[in-house]
Structure 1
Amino acid sequence: MEVAILTVGDEILSGDTENTNATWLARQLRDRGATARRILTVPDDEETIADYVREWSEAFDAVVVTGGLGGTPDDVTIEAVADALDRDLVVQESVRETIAEKARQFREDNPDLAEDYAFDIDLDAQAALPAGAEPLITDASFAPGCAVENVYVFPGFPEELRAMFALVAEDFGGDAISETLTTPAPEGALYAALEDIRGRFDVTVGSYPVKGRDPGRVKVTGTDSEAVEAAVAWLRDEIEVVDD
């Protein structure tokens, strides 16, 4: 399964917020045997988001979009996804009721805030999702996410994203497997072996050096466990390896 990850937010592009979501999602996909083939951050611009969702939903098995959910003018992700998939925005009554209850509970739990900031919510705008979408609702977030066709839309706050991803984690899977070797050899000394392994085995291989004297890593990935095992065994004979 090949997945593209699209993170949305001007705050990420400006450096005000670290993009931990993309790294976390890539690891979740890897652990389930899927592969992240694209990771991109785009601004809070509806047309830009829609262009990438439209292109990637056709090119990849799934697209994960994070960020841009909520009630402020720069939260345009849901509208962009609807546009990309040529779907109208529809208010599902059950979603509207859930949001109304969350708003009521917030006012009850935070009377001072609700009074000071005139906590008015456009329930229809908050509940609107692309037609036919499966709502994704958790206690961790106010705004709903959704799954529609092969596109998954999650919040940008990490704790909210992780709670919502758990609802659909079983949708992501595959047969990609990896094994990692630790080596003290400098990256330049690995060139011949890493070049040769590509022609010998149906695997991909990556070298991840570490600054200083700490050992680096060589990661072998494939979809055939026997091919990965054979490639790792061959590589152990070709480069210096430090066993954990």
Structure 2
Amino acid sequence: MEVAILTVGDEVLAGDTPNTNATWLAEQITGRGSTVARILTLPDDRTLIAGTIGDWRGRFDAVVVTGGLGGTHDDVTADALADAFDRYLVVDPAVREDVLETAAAYRDANPELVAEHDLDLDVDAWASLPGGARAIINPEGLCPGCVLETVYAFPGVPAEMQALFDLVAHEFDGDVTSRTLYTPQPEGSMIDALAGVRERFDVQVGSYPDTGGLNRLKVSGEDADDVVAAAEWLQGRVTVDRVV
């Protein structure tokens, strides 16, 4: 399963907010045996987001979009997703009820803050999703996520995004397995070993510098036996501290 990740937000592009969502999603998806083929960050631009989703949904098995969902002025991802599928935004009654309940719980828990700032919530704006989308009720916040065909959309708040992804994580299960070898050897000394393992086994091998004085060799493939054999072959030719 090839997956593309699209993160949305002017604040990410400006460097004001670290893009931890993309890293977390990539780790979760690859850990479940699927492959992340693209990661891209876009500004809060409805036309640009819609065009990218429209292009990617025909090129990848799944597209994960995070950020720009909600009821504020710069939350345009739901509109863009609707545009990409030529749909209208609609209010799901169950989602609307959840938004009302979440807002009420917040008001009860923060009466002084609510009174001071006179918080006025546009419930329908927060509960609107593209027509035909499968709503995912948010257990950690106000804004729902949704799935429209092969496109998954989540809010950008990390705790909310993670909680929503966990509800659909099983839909990203794939066949890719991996082994990671940690080695004190410098990358330049392993060129022959890396070339040899690629010639002998049907696997992908990546070499990555790491912190703490150890480099990483990641062996991945769809055949678990090949991955194990390739890792063992490398262990006979590279100084290995540990295998994960």
Instruction: State the TM-score, normalizing by the size of structure 1.
Output: 0.93
Q: What aligned pairs does 1:10-29 form with structure 2 within 5 A after superposition? A: 10-29=10-29
* Per-residue deviation, 1:37: 1.2
* Aligned residue-pair number: 243
CA distances 1:83-136 after superposition (whole Å, capped 9, x unpaired): 112222111122122212222333333233323323222222221111111111
CA distances 1:181-239 after superposition (whole Å, capped 9, x unpaired): 12222111111221232222111000012368x12111100000121122112222232
CA contact (8 A) 2:126 2:142 kept: no
2:26 is matched by which residue type in structure 1? A
Identity of aligned residues (%): 55
In the alignment, is residue 155 of structure 1 matched against residue 185 of structure 2?
A: no
Aligned to 1:237: 236
- Give the SS at the match of 2:30: helix
In the alignment, is residue 51 of structure 1 matched against residue 34 of structure 2?
A: no
Aligned equivalents of 2:241 and 2:111: distance in 1?
Answer: 60
Aligned equivalents of 1:200 and 1:189: distance in 2?
Answer: 19
Aligned to 1:228: 227
Query: Aligned Cα RMSD in Å?
Result: 1.6
Aligned equivalents of 1:11 and 1:217: distance in 2?
Answer: 32
Aligned equivalents of 1:190 and 1:210: distance in 2?
Answer: 15
Farther-moved stretch of structure 1 (229-238 vs 39-48): 229-238
Unaligned runs of 5+ in 1: none
Aligned equivalents of 1:96 and 1:230: distance in 2?
Answer: 53
Aligned equivalents of 1:211 and 1:138: distance in 2?
Answer: 36
Q: What aligned pairs does 1:56-205 form with structure 2 within 5 A after superposition? A: 56-205=56-205
Aligned equivalents of 1:230 and 1:167: distance in 2?
Answer: 34
Aligned equivalents of 1:239 and 1:13: distance in 2?
Answer: 40
CA contact (8 A) 2:70 2:125 kept: no
Instruction: State the TM-score, normalizing by the size of structure 2.
Output: 0.93
Aligned equivalents of 1:231 and 1:24: distance in 2?
Answer: 27
1:158 is matched by which residue type in structure 2? P
* Per-residue deviation, 1:81: 0.8
Unaligned runs of 5+ in 2: none
1:241 is matched by which residue type in structure 2? V
2:8 is matched by which residue type in structure 1? V
CA contact (8 A) 2:180 2:217 kept: yes
List 4+ stretches of structure 1 deviating above 3 A: none
